């Protein structure tokens, strides 16, 4: 199990989530962030920090966004780690 970053993050990247993550498991793609599922400890600290509510427990990801579970697993290892807040895209 892992937390998963979904659609509302796309084009936003508020990055409020990264500063509360005790496992430093966020990775930055060009348009959105991804959580490395093998590093996430399921603490859920990031969930209430995300303004557009993009982060869900894997089992709770809404049906239209289920593909983001595999996308996080696929993309996190390919992107640089991010642990500090930066200006959002919008």
Summarize as ranges the residues that interact with ligand F3S (CB under 6 A): 5, 9, 12-17, 33, 49-50, 52, 54-55
- Residue whose C-alpha is closest to residue 84's, from 34, 32, 37, 17: 17
Question: How far is the C-alpha of 58 from the C-alpha of 88, rounded, in Å?
Answer: 24
Length of the chain: 90
Nearest approach, Cβ of residue 9 and ligand F3S (Å)? 3
By beta-carbon proximity to ligand F3S, the closer residue of 51 and 77 is 51
By beta-carbon proximity to ligand F3S, the closer residue of 1 and 85 is 85
């Amino acid at each position: 199990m892992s937390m998963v970053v979904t659609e509302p993050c796309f084009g936003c990247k508020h990055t409020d989530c990264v500063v509360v993550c005790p496992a430093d498991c966020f990775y930055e793609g060009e348009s959105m962030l991804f959580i490395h599922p093998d590093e996430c400890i399921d603490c859920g600290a990031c969930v209430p920090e995300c303004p557009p509510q993009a982060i869900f427990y894997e089992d709770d990801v809404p049906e239209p966004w289920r593909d983001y579970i595999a996308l996080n697993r696929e993309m996190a290892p390919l992107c640089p780690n991010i642990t500090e807040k930066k200006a959002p895209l919008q």
